[in-house]
Every structure is written in C-alpha cells, then in structure tokens.
Amino acid sequence: MSGQLDGKIIWVTGGGRGLGRAYAEGLAREGAAVAVSDIAGAEDTAAAIRAAGGTAAGFMCDVTDEAAVLRCAADIKSRLGPIDGLVNNAGAYPLAPIEQTDAAFLERLFRLNVFGSFHCIRAVVPDMKARRRGKIVNVASATFHAPPPMLSAYVATKGAVIGMTRSLARELGEYDINVNVIAPGLTETPGVAEAPFGDEMWAGVLAAQCFKRREQPADLVGTVVFLCSPASDFITAQTINCDGGMGVH
C-alpha cells in the first residue's frame, strides 16, 4: 500500500462485484478505509480487502431507497467515521429498443442510475460541507460520447449524471468539495458477461478504441484513486473518459 489515501474513508456503492469491487480493492490498497455497499450486501468484498491487510466494512443498501441510503450513510459514519469520498458506482445497463422503452422501464433505470446518485450525494454532503472537504466521483459511461443503438435510455441516464456533476461542482466548490465523473468504456465484468453483448458489439468497440484489447476493471482503478486523492484537489466538474481512446473530446 502506498498510503496516498491513508486516513480517508471512502464509500463505494455497487461494490459487491465487478467494477465496484475493483474500485473498493484499489482504494483500500492506497490506504483508504472503504465502506462497500450493494443491494445484495458486500461483505465478501469487504472480507477480501481485510484478508489482504486493508480496512473495509460491508453494507446492504438499495440506492433507489432514499431512507435506506440515509441509514447506510449513518451506519458508515458510526462504524468507520465521517465519509471523505463517495464513488457512485451502482447502476445498470439494460439493452432495449425504443419500442420497449416504456415509462416503467425508464422509471426503474432513472431511479437506479440517477436518483441513486442524488440520494448518496445528499447523504454525504452535510458532513463534507461542515469539514470543508470531500471527493465525489460519479460514474457515467463512454457511451455518452459514442452512443451505440439499443441503449438510448441508459445513455440518457448517464447524460443526466454528467449534467448533475457539472452543476453540483459549481454549487459545492466554495466548500472545497470536488465533483467529477469517470466514464468507462465497455469493460469485461461479470455483469457484462451476463448481458447480451455479443462478439459483434465487442468487435465494434475494439475497432473504435486506440488500444486493441478489451478493457478490464483494473484499467479504471487508477483514475478512481486519482479522483479520490489529494493529487486531484484542483480538478472538478470534469468528465474523464477511461475507454482506451474510443471517445475523443
């Protein structure tokens, strides 16, 4: 552990597996005490971090439930201390043509991908304001800059996350709270393996990327650590694509 996050308490949502677990483990390796939450619980991730010599606690939390989010934030503070950083990773990416993107579909997706981030930010901001510091990392998607078909609702939610981030950075800057976005490309995770992303989609992604290999969770960890560390203290309101050069902006 290099220690650049020593003494920091960072909450990672959706940390039970996939990218969230990779973020949590990477943050812990840099010395952070990591609160890992997931709708199905995240104790396995927390236990793995502790087994590797880090500090972590697992929590069960449905980020679409505002009351549950507030309870989770209070539990984290009680067990670990005031939250210094938040990584809003929980989300979903269902494929659907426009004919199937009805009101119920949209509501479910926006409640998770957008409302969930709002709930978590609202839960941590009061303490961050009082302490005049904090790091908020929202997770969007490189599809916002290079949108494929069949993901219109998902891309709309990620556009909302980017817009929310830019406005909140203006609002919270006077309290020295950083609010940024990481935008991953298509990444080999258990969730992606379970989704209907076939070889044709992967071939299109690789053709668009500068790096001709499939993105791995480890490819994103350094950027998340950077955005949670003192090295990014003068960076806010930004969207950082971490997609192997698929999108250029």
| Catalytic residue positions, numbered | 154
Q: H-helix or E-strand containing 43? A: helix 43-51
Distances in Å between the alpha carbon of 159 and those of 63, 155, 225? 19, 6, 23
Closest by CA to 14, choosing from 34, 40, 32, is 40
- Is residue 124 a contact partner of residue 77, using CB atoms and an 8 Å limit? no
Tokens matching residue 112: 């998770």
∠ CA 52-77-46 to the nearest 5 degrees?
20
Cα separation, 11 vs 83, whole angstroms: 7
CA dihedral sign, ordered 22, 234, 114, 240: negative
Cα separation, 57 vs 37, whole angstroms: 9
Q: What are phi and psi of 87, to 5 degrees?
A: -115, 105
